[in-house]
A and B are shown apart, each in its own frame.
Chain A
Amino acid sequence: DADVTQTPRNRITKTGKRIMLECSQTKGHDRMYWYRQDPGLGLQLIYYSFDVKDINKGEISDGYSVSRQAQAKFSLSLESAIPNQTALYFCATSDLADPEDTQYFGPGTRLTVL
């Protein structure tokens, strides 16, 4: 089984709809991240969380919100989706105890907003 899972893997929605992307991990890591990837671009950080009570905005947090329901779960919400939020979304985790703090990524969620 994958260590970092994302649901759904693909989603098509309409402008104005609320949508939630979910991320779960079995790695026991305390740090979790949400990124978006646009075609031809690298990944940009949306939000990150060091633990359940610590949530921080990344480079492009406008239009997004997150919830860290448990150490293993980190959800990303689009309250009112718009077409320019069409992208590939990645969740990642890392371990505070890892001196290299390597980030491990989930398989991605492809979101299309019509």
Chain B
Amino acid sequence: AQKVTQAQTEISVVEKEDVTLDCVYETRDTTYYLFWYKQPPSGELVFLIRRNSFDEQNEISGRYSWNFQKSTSSFNFTITASQVVDSAVYFCALSESNTGFQKLVFGTGTRLLVSP
């Protein structure tokens, strides 16, 4: 069965620190997709990134970067020079492609608190 583990329940950092959010997944499929979503205090879910299982290239988008390693079944998310606006709950999710749609399995989320 698919499973996503975000072992870090809550992380507190001071502004400008770098922070890495861990995500470990389990799946028996060879083709799958990994996602990160952000949930700010206002409650909505914001899509950040999607990766497929055949693309292990790291991705960088501004202060955000993602490290995908199939060997360790991990898809970690790093925020460089964190800002107060980064405070949110971050969810990692996994989906398999054989269901005909992206049936997402979510981790339990990591709450990031960035203080000034």
| Contact between A107 and B104, CB atoms less than 8 A apart | no
Contacts of A45 in B (CB 8 A): 103-104
- Chain A nearest CB: distance from B27 CB in Å? 15
The reply to whether A103 and B104 form a contact with Cβ atoms under 8 Å apart is: yes
Tell me whether B47 and A40 are in contact (CB under 8 A): no
A73 within 8 A of B: no
Cα–Cα, bound, A103→B104 (Å): 9
- Option from A43, A88, A102, A106 in Cβ contact (under 8 Å) with B102: A102
Given A45-B103, A45-B104: A100 touches B45 (CB 8 Å cut-off): no
Is the CB–CB distance between B101 and A48 below 8 Å? Answer: yes
Q: How many A residues touch B, CB cutoff 8 Å?
A: 23
Contact bitstring B87-111, A, C-beta under 8 A = 1, else 0: 0000101000000011111111100
Given contacts A42-B93, A104-B47, 8 further A-B contacts (CB under 8 A): A40-B9, A41-B108, A42-B4, A42-B105, A100-B33, A100-B50, A106-B44, A108-B44
The 10 A-B residue pairs with the shortest CB-CB distance, nearest first, are A42-B106, A105-B45, A107-B44, A101-B102, A43-B106, A108-B43, A42-B108, A42-B107, A41-B108, A100-B50
Tell me the smallest distance from the CB of A107 to a CB of chain B, in Å: 4
Q: Roughly how many angstroms separate A43 CA and B39 CA in the complex, as a whole number? A: 12
Residues on A with beta carbons closer than 8 Å to the beta carbon of B109: 40-42
Can you list 21 A-B pairs with a CB-CB distance of less than 8 A?
A40-B9, A40-B108, A41-B108, A42-B4, A42-B108, A42-B109, A43-B91, A43-B93, A43-B106, A94-B101, A94-B102, A100-B33, A101-B101, A102-B35, A103-B47, A103-B102, A103-B104, A105-B44, A106-B44, A107-B43, A110-B43
